[in-house]
Amino acid sequence: MIRLRTVKLVIFGEIPAAAERFKIFFLTLFVFRTKKGKTEYFANILNTLKAMKLLEGKVAVVTGAARGIGKAIALEFAKEGADVAFTDLVIDDNGKATEAEIAALGVKAKGYASNAANFEETHKVIEEIVKDFGRIDILVNNAGITKDGLMMRMSEAQWDAVLTVNLKSAFNFIHAVTPIMARQKGGSIINMSSVVGVSGNAGQCNYSASKAGMIGLAKSIAKEMGPRGIRANAIAPGFIMTEMTDKLPDEVKEGWYKQIPLRRGGTPEDVAKVALFLASDLSSYVSGQVIHCCGAMNC
C-alpha cells in the first residue's frame, strides 16, 4: 500500500540558464510513504535545482575590482556562473591575480585598465568588453576613493577628485551600458553607495555627497529605464573589513564595533552576496531600492 502526498515548493523568480531560463514557479514533489513509514523524495530533482547557478549565461562588468569589495563581487558572480569583465585604473599584479582567480572558477574573465572617471575611455572599454564577451547583463559601479577632511579645510581638489571618481564614473558606465541593455531588453545596474551616503559623516562631506548621489542616480535610472526591463539598485555597506581598514589601530576598530549591533565589521563577501541577489533573477521585481549591509549600524 503506497500513499501519495503532494508537496508544493514555491520558487520565486526564474531558474536561470542551466535550464535555459525555463521559468519554473511551482514544482510539485511526490512523496511516497511505504508501510514502514519511510519517505522517499525525488532527490534527483532537488539535486538538479541545487546545481543550477543563478547567473549562468550572463556577463557582468564590475568596476574597481582588482581588490577589496569589487574583487569579492566578481568572484561571487563567477561562482554562480557569470562571465566577468572587470576594470581598474591599472591591471597590476593584483589585477592579474584577480583575473586568474575568476578564470579558475570555470568562467571567462578579463581585466581592463581604464580610468572610470574619463567619459571617452569608459565608452571605449565598454566597446572592448562587448567585442570580447558579446553582451552585458550586469553592471556594478564599485570604483571609488576617499580624500577625507573637515569642510573648512577641504580643498577644491579633494572635493572634485572624490565626486569625479565616485559619482561621475557611475554616470560614465551607465551612459555606455544602458543602450546595450536596452537592446537586450533587460539588465541589472548596481551602484555601490554607503551608509554615510544615507546619514552623512563628519569629515567626509565629499565622500558622503558622492555616495548620496549614487543612490539618487540608481533611483532615477530605475524609473527611467524600467520600461526597457533594466533594474537599478544601490547597496549601502557599513564598516567593511578591507585592506584599508585592517591598517586601523585596534582601538579605532573596537570603537566602530561598539556602534554596530552585530558587534563586528562586515566582510567583502557579505557585500558580494547582496550584490548577487540584486544581479540575479531572485530580485526580478526589486528596483530603485537601497539595501543596507551594515549589521544594523544604520537602521
Burial of 80 (0-12, 13-18, 19+ CB in 10 A): buried
**pTM of the model as a whole:** 0.84
Could you tell me the three cell numbers for 216? 539618487
Which region among 28-37, 170-179, 182-191 has the lowest average model confidence (pLDDT)? 28-37
pLDDT, tens digit (0-9, with 9 covering 90-100), for 1-57 = 444 444 444 444 444 444 434 333 334 343 444 444 444 544 555 565 556 799 999
Q: What is the pLDDT of residue 32?
A: 40
Strands 26-33 and 39-40, by their bridges, are antiparallel
The string of DSSP codes covering 106-165 is TS-EEEEE--TT-HHHHHHHHHHHHHHHS---EEEE-------B-GGG--HHHHHHHHII
Query: 3-state SS of 174-207?
Result: HHHHHHHHHHHCCEEEEEECCCHHHHCCCCEHHH
Phi-psi region of 230 (alpha: psi -120 to 50; beta: other; left: phi over 0): beta
Domains of the chain (ranges; CATH) run 3-51 (no CATH), 59-293 (3.40.50.720)
Q: Which of 42-51, 145-154, 250-259 has the highest mean pLDDT?
A: 145-154
As annotated, the active-site residues are: 207
